[in-house]
Structure 1
């Protein structure tokens, strides 16, 4: 069977159109994949629980049996910006409070399928949202600089990960997954920076509708049963070099490039009792290796305009994420879950101006979850997650050429998800 890439991309775009992603939680990565994992703060390297296992560690594809998982998450972020101390002379000031929640909530679907091909080899397919950026300002934070209308960005990333996993023996599994990533992006309300003074490609900064790009990457993983009660998992995902956003080559560094960063981690899962399982993950996300994410806004007035190879963007740094989760089988039919995670701050205090478009500053999450299995071959899983309010106060965040002053970012969020699973 041939692979019809244009048709496949169209299907992904249609799915994204009806269920746009907003901000994820760790930078723009989701805090976990699969409703069960999401209820345990996203742990998954050493504890595969459903057919979305390959989204964290493809070795888990061989450990969850034959199953089909369908889920959806309702996601409600709260993001806002305050600008103070700005002075544009006769042009006035950008000072004020700006609410980025004109679009208030979003639906994020997920799909997973796994099947044992023989006693040792298993196949899986996971479809999920890696994350994204979405802000929608009815009152434009850049209006004082000359931008017209509302402002915001919409970045969607959809992942499709087919995987194969092989059980070397009863204690060790190895997995490989291909990550196909589809991205869609739009920027609005940035016309003040859409000129030859600030951009290398005027006319390709703002208000050009949606553009898309895609690319492929590799994910490798191992799961090992160290003792009867203790397992370890390790996984690595390569950087995905995607096509460029040609309609926005004057906005993102390197002429519209927006690659997906390398990420990797390790996890432990301990079956403390017959009912209680504890798990912990450490995840590294290397944002600094992607120019469109890591380049500092400071270079804007030093010979590096928007869209140039080393042009300014978000100034994000690499982060490390720590996750702790627990599950308890209250009865044979009911399992309860909980978790807590915290992460490094991706943003520096001097980078808040450009991140008005992407105030992804939350760092801590508290999660709850449960699975009810009314029959042996059917499950219903739920989770709730709260990302605690985080404020990042700017420090020398607005260049003197833009009137100086500071930009303070604030964000918190809530999400609720449900999934239904069939054991095949």
Structure 2
């Protein structure tokens, strides 16, 4: 029975479309998402508290269970231009046709009145990206491999994280918390740029590779007697085993398998909040450390023409949320999130199968308090990359001391995207 439950949870999370903060989801659940993901210093719901600051679950003094599911639709487009021998250019674009993907979240907190100890458990899909750009005869990067392109570009990545949280209330105003985490990740990329290409058969397609990982999170939380709150947390890098890909060339012949290590970056979060009878305000700042993370730290080509890594930069994230409690049992929520772009222009091509860039995200949501036990939440999200990420097309055969990535003169590849999502949640508070 336990294995069936785990399989269902994995199946629900293997269809991720896009995360918004690099490849990290900016919020967890309808409540937290509608607040722009801000929760480190303002724990209003158990999912946001468990995700961003384990110490903050000390504010919940009942047993609470929450389940949410969202439907994400993304609209990335990839553009490319190459020069011809006659001095003209060939340009084209391809739209993604991946469709709608589910985003689930499940959490439970075990609190008790007048107890200094609070426990929690969570199963979150915290990260993902994926595209399906069909093969094209008008967009150079999607030309068939026989014509010098990559053909159909397809990817699917997900990270499922299980957390076990403990918070201790040192005083009425101050708490500390810790959360060990266990992770499961899955990645599929076609064609597989992490594998060495054949001079005659090109890059192979891969199967679905998976890996297990582990890490943890610590946090502190302070709440005053006059509505002000503050929290700080640090989530360690999530350390994974190697992803092992079984590969097949486009003609059906077997290709050598390859391995790739892709850890999940560490995250530092600090947040403040202020609450009155009429509103709750939350503001978070996050720093995501891609630059020292396996899979993102390295970049460029290996000696055999495989991609060495994404080469992403560290990014800053600002989240702000407001909950208005002007109507009895019907709070309204508004959120905004700003994200840096982790992708440098000179290595933009390495991320065409993972264009997880949403600079500006806007959220709106509401809750309906059915009774003292049941609350229903809903959220709508709209995100935009606010422009294109662009850079030259790269070719490993053109690498030199003055052209370290093998940039093709006069070429260009770029991508942009929008995301839209509706999410619904249900929470139940036990007596």
Deviations 1:116-135 (A, max 9, x none): 26711011011111111101
Q: Distance in 2 between matches of 1:94 and 1:289?
A: 37
Q: Which residue of 2 aligns with 1:225?
A: 223
SS in 2 for 1:31: coil
1:351/1:221 Cα in 2 relative to 1: closer, same or farther (>3 Å)?
Answer: same
Q: Which residue of 2 aligns with 1:126?
A: 122
**Residue 413 in structure 1 maps to residue 415 in structure 2:** no
Deviations 1:90-109 (A, max 9, x none): 9x987421122x21110111
1:179 to 168, 178, 181: 181
Q: Which residue of 2 aligns with 1:98?
A: 94
2:322 to 326, 338, 347: 326
Q: Distance in 2 between matches of 1:293 and 1:304?
A: 19
Q: Distance in 1 between matches of 2:163 and 2:389?
A: 38
SS in 2 for 1:292: coil
Q: Which residue of 1 aligns with 2:288?
A: 285
1:191/1:58 Cα in 2 relative to 1: closer, same or farther (>3 Å)?
Answer: closer
CA contact (8 A) 1:86 1:406 kept: no
CA contact (8 A) 2:117 2:168 kept: yes
Deviations 1:55-80 (A, max 9, x none): 11111222123211011011111111
Q: Which residue of 2 aligns with 1:21?
A: 16
Q: Distance in 2 between matches of 1:261 and 1:291?
A: 8
1:206/1:236 Cα in 2 relative to 1: closer, same or farther (>3 Å)?
Answer: farther
Shift of 1:114: 0.7
Q: Distance in 2 between matches of 1:354 and 1:95?
A: 19
2:260 to 253, 256, 261: 256
Q: Distance in 2 between matches of 1:335 and 1:57?
A: 23
Q: Which residue of 1 aligns with 2:251?
A: none
Q: Distance in 1 between matches of 2:284 and 2:67?
A: 24
Q: Distance in 1 between matches of 2:74 and 2:83?
A: 27
CA contact (8 A) 1:94 1:143 kept: no
CA contact (8 A) 1:349 1:392 kept: no
SS in 1 for 2:240: coil
Matches within 5 A, 1:345-384: 345-384=341-380
CA contact (8 A) 2:205 2:247 kept: no
Q: Which residue of 2 aligns with 1:300?
A: 301
Deviates more, 1:261-270 or 1:225-234: 225-234
**Residue 162 in structure 1 maps to residue 164 in structure 2:** yes
**Residue 71 in structure 1 maps to residue 77 in structure 2:** no
Shift of 1:392: 2.3
**Residue 269 in structure 1 maps to residue 273 in structure 2:** yes
**Residue 41 in structure 1 maps to residue 48 in structure 2:** no
CA contact (8 A) 2:192 2:206 kept: no
1:393/1:333 Cα in 2 relative to 1: closer, same or farther (>3 Å)?
Answer: closer
Deviations 1:231-286 (A, max 9, x none): 101111001110111116999xx941010111111000012x32112110001100
Deviations 1:278-304 (A, max 9, x none): 1100011001112312323xx327x47
Deviations 1:348-397 (A, max 9, x none): 11222121111122111111111110211110001111102433242445
SS in 2 for 1:232: strand
Q: Aligned residue pairs: how many? A: 401
TM-score by structure 2 length?
0.85
Q: Which residue of 2 aligns with 1:245?
A: 243
CA contact (8 A) 2:35 2:334 kept: yes
Unaligned residue ranges in structure 2 (runs of 5+) = 249-254, 399-405
Q: Distance in 2 between matches of 1:315 and 1:95?
A: 26
1:69/1:98 Cα in 2 relative to 1: closer, same or farther (>3 Å)?
Answer: same
SS in 2 for 1:315: coil
Looking at secondary structure, tell me which structure has more helix per residue. 1
CA contact (8 A) 1:94 1:142 kept: no
1:184/1:210 Cα in 2 relative to 1: closer, same or farther (>3 Å)?
Answer: same
Shift of 1:314: 1.9
Q: Which residue of 2 aligns with 1:80?
A: 77
Deviations 1:383-417 (A, max 9, x none): 11110243324244535557440101111101110
CA contact (8 A) 2:56 2:167 kept: yes
Q: Distance in 2 between matches of 1:14 and 1:148?
A: 34
Deviations 1:31-59 (A, max 9, x none): 11232111010001011122212111111
Q: Which residue of 1 aligns with 2:336?
A: 340
